[in-house]
């Protein structure tokens, strides 16, 4: 059975990669003599050397413009779920964290304009990232290790959310945008505004968002029901569950939420650079679906406001109906100086301070009691100096420092307070000769974790990377990369010991954990020529990767239960693991402004050793996905029909639940028009048109909180 399933996945990936190769071979001969691309290229900030995404050796995706507006959702994971190699680790409607090639949490660095978001989203699956996708200008996704530039927390990938809080230039006139949208999936209303302007050397920026939703609407029951093998043996247990466990039909209980955010920034801009400052305030209140219980049934399709969700939570007992109340104030300083030099290019610096906290609110009778309080007072700074010596070696030197003062306070605090200090220095070099391009890099880093009680932990980390690209034509290249990166265990992996109510897990850390060492091999092909016409304009991306992680750190489901809390016990441990997979996307231009995109991605992971009685499957991996998207792009309007097939994930890991296959069909459309001489857009997004029951294999709550059913989101956006 195992071998048969393995062939199915391999065959699907082989077809996708072969399709990419066939198309690229057909267009390569024609594109070799094309003129240099003159259409607008946006340099990605994940490279300090001002390179467009198409030229970066590592696989990079950029979500911006209309594509970002269509995909933007309440959570970061939900926003990026359709990107190659990226899945959503949902925990109800209020939490969605990105999973890149099977890696998440402490291996995926979520950045706010190149600095760590410094929240608590990496400590637990129920903690939301303190990012509002509706306010993003663009989102960059770097798949694969990026620890060289961003530190050991980026051993699996980077999600960099770029906003305009700190202006880098002075607008010629006051500009702004207002957007309003409504989503039937959870009766969500959201409003966003931006405003920017300036005079002389001074530029300013303002933005804000307000979002409120009720419970997530789903097809069928929230809690997946399992057939008992021996009914008589469990008859007493079932009667007990009938008294205490309630399922919901047509919605997921306690998933209402309300969030608001506001930002302001000022910059002083000159011909040689800029310096600017911004402040952001974010408040978010969201419910956690019951991990083992749900409340009374309601009629299918009945909508819940936030107040009704709070009332429902009040009526529940004990650990049911937990809500998270999150508040964050963030301060950022950013600057850049461009040199008038033949060798030195520019000096850039960033400094950020984040004051984050959230409280788990536990219902007791007719009121809420404050449970565990998580705080993270963090700052991070980075300085980068780039140079170009006239066509031979280009490069960058960087220094990064950070401190995180993290604490969990309360009767159910499962992590002891600690201070984590990190200092890292890195260099990146690149050179071109003929059709070849070489990238090299190295990083040294020291991480020290000082717990409130107990011994300090000190880790010295080394990162090395090399990538070579061969340009078959100006807009077409092959790449081969090798990266060695190390990651230090974080505080929760070392010091956790206790029950976490919102997550319904008892978590045990291990103070003897070793650091991880990832050796990642990447082979890629890329073709993209925006100036070409017809079939020569096909956009092709294909990547195959192999990542061996020595002393991989993960929370293993022990299969045991804590007697007092009655939660399953998860224990952190080291175990060698190997991840491998592929991603491919081919976009064909068709007649009459139509385009067809074929895509697919897959990741598999096994532990290298055999331990009697333990599974070799790495838990909570996304399944194989493949599909197509047919779209039309016209003068005033465009549309896209997207169909995604996800196979069953029947390799869930020890004591974890498998998930069924599903087909997701989405349709988006927008119409552009003028209103009082200004640009305006009306848009509509129909999601999960087949009303499929979708349970994310990456989610701890896959048995209790499926994704939303059939829904329509519609809105209007004004630019002035």
Q: What span, in angstroms and rounded, lies between the C-alpha atoms of 286 and 359? A: 11
Structural domains of the chain, ranges and CATH numbers in brackets: 2-719 (2.40.170.20)
| Residue 396: C-alpha distances to residues 52, 67, 144, 351, 511 (Å) | 16, 31, 20, 18, 36
Residue with tokens 């219980």: 293
Question: For residues 551 and 519, is the Cβ–Cβ distance under 8 A?
Answer: no
Confidence at residue 314, expressed as pLDDT on a 0 to 100 scale: 42
Calpha distance 596→159 (Å, rounded):
27
Distance CA 108, CA 120 (A): 13
Paired tokens of 458: 């000190």
Residue with tokens 């300013």: 204
Question: Which residue pairs from 49-57 have beta carbons closer than 8 angstroms and sit at least 24 positions apart in sequence?
Answer: 49/386, 49/394, 49/395, 49/396, 49/428, 49/430, 50/386, 53/140, 54/475, 54/526, 54/528, 57/437, 57/439, 57/467, 57/468, 57/469, 57/479, 57/481, 57/524
Quick check: 439 and 466 in contact, CB under 8 A? yes
State the Cα–Cα distance between residues 493 and 495, nearest whole angstrom: 6
What the block records as the tokens of 613 is 């009685």
Predicted pLDDT of residue 320 = 53
Instruction: Determine the Cα–Cα distance for residues 220 and 710; give it in Å rounded to an integer.
Output: 12
pTM > 0.85: yes
Divide the 720 residues of the chain into consecutive groups of 10 and give the mean pLDDT of each group: 36 38 36 36 76 83 89 92 94 91 92 92 86 92 91 92 94 95 96 96 97 95 70 43 66 94 97 97 92 42 48 42 93 96 92 95 81 93 90 90 94 89 96 93 97 94 96 92 96 92 89 96 91 81 97 93 91 96 94 91 94 84 97 92 97 91 97 92 96 94 93 95
Helix and strand totals (H; E) in the chain: 7, 35
Cβ atoms within 10 A of the Cβ of 452, count?
10
Q: What is the pLDDT of residue 9?
A: 42
Contacts for 219 with CB less than 8 Å, ≥ 6 apart: 250, 691, 692, 693, 709, 710
């Amino acid at each position: 059975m195992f071998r048969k399933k393995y062939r199915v996945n391999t065959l699907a990936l082989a077809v996708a990669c072969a399709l990419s190769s066939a198309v690229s071979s057909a267009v390569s001969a024609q594109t070799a003599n094309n003129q240099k691309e003159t259409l607008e290229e946006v340099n990605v900030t994940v490279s300090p050397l001002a390179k467009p995404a198409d030229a970066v050796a590592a696989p990079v995706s950029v979500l911006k413009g209309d594509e970002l507006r269509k995909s933007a959702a309440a959570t970061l994971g939900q926003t990026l779920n359709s990107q190659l190699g990226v899945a959503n680790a949902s925990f109800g409607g209020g939490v969605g964290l990105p999973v890149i090639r099977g890696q998440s949490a402490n291996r995926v660095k979520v950045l706010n304009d190149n600095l760590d978001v410094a929240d608590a989203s990496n400590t637990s699956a129920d903690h939301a990232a303190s990012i509002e996708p509706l306010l993003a200008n663009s989102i960059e996704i770097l798949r694969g290790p990026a620890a060289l530039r961003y530190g050991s927390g980026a051993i699996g990938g980077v999600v960099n959310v770029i906003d305009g809080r700190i202006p880098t230039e002075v607008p010629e006139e006051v500009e702004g945008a207002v957007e309003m949208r409504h989503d039937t999936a959870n009766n969500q209303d959201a409003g966003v505004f931006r405003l920017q302007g300036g005079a002389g050397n001074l530029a300013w920026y303002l933005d804000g968002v307000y979002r409120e939703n009720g419970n997530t609407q789903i097809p069928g029951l929230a809690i997946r029901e399992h057939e008992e093998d021996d009914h008589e043996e469990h008859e007493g247990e079932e009667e007990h569950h009938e008294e205490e466990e309630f399922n919901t039909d047509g919605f997921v209980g306690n998933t209402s939420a309300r969030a608001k955010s506001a930002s302001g920034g000022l910059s002083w801009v000159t011909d040689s650079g800029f310096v600017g400052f911004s402040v952001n305030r974010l408040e978010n209140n969201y419910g956690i679906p019951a991990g083992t219980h749900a409340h009374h049934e309601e009629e299918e399709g009945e909508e819940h406001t936030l107040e009704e969700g709070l009332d429902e939570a009040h009526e529940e007992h004990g650990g049911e109906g937990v809500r998270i109340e999150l508040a964050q104030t963030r301060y950022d300083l950013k600057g850049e100086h461009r040199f008038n030099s033949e060798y030195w290019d520019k000096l850039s610096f960033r400094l950020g301070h984040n004051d984050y906290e959230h409280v788990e609110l536990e219902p007791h009778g007719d009121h809420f009691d404050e449970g565990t309080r998580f705080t993270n007072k963090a700052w991070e700074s980075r300085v980068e100096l780039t140079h170009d010596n006239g066509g031979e070696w280009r490069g960058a030197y960087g220094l990064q420092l950070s401190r995180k003062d993290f604490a969990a306070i309360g009767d159910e605090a499962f992590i002891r307070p600690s201070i984590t200090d990190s200092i890292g220095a890195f260099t990146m070099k690149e050179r071109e000769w003929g059709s070849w391009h070489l990238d090299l890099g190295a990083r040294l880093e020291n991480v020290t974790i000082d717990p409130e009680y107990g011994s300090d932990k000190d880790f010295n980390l080394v990162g090395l990377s090399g990538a070579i690209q061969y340009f078959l034509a100006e807009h077409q290249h092959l790449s081969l990369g090798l990266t060695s990166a190390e990651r230090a265990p974080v505080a929760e992996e070392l010091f956790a010991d206790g029950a976490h109510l919102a997550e319904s897990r008892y978590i045990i850390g291990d103070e003897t954990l070793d650091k991880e060492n990832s050796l990642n091999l990447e082979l890629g092909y890329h073709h993209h020529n925006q100036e070409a016409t017809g079939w020569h304009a096909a956009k092709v991306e294909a990547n195959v990767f192999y990542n061996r992680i020595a002393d991989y750190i993960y929370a293993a489901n022990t299969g045991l239960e804590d007697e007092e809390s009655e939660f399953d016990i998860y224990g952190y441990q080291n175990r060698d693991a190997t991840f491998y997979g592929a991603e491919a996307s081919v976009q064909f231009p068709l007649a009459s402004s139509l385009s067809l995109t074929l895509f697919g991605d897959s990741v598999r992971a096994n532990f290298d050793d055999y331990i009697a009685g333990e599974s070799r499957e790495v838990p909570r991996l996304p399944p194989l996905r493949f599909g197509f998207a047919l779209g039309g792009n016209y003068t005033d309007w465009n549309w896209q029909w997207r169909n995604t097939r996800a196979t069953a994930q029947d390799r869930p890991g020890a004591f974890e639940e498998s998930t069924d296959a599903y087909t997701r069909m989405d349709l988006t459309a927008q119409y552009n028009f003028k209103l009082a001489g200004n640009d305006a857009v009306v848009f509509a997004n129909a999601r999960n048109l087949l009303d499929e029951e979708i349970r994310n294999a990456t989610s701890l709550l896959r048995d209790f909180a499926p994704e939303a059913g059939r829904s329509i989101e519609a809105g209007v956006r004004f630019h002035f």
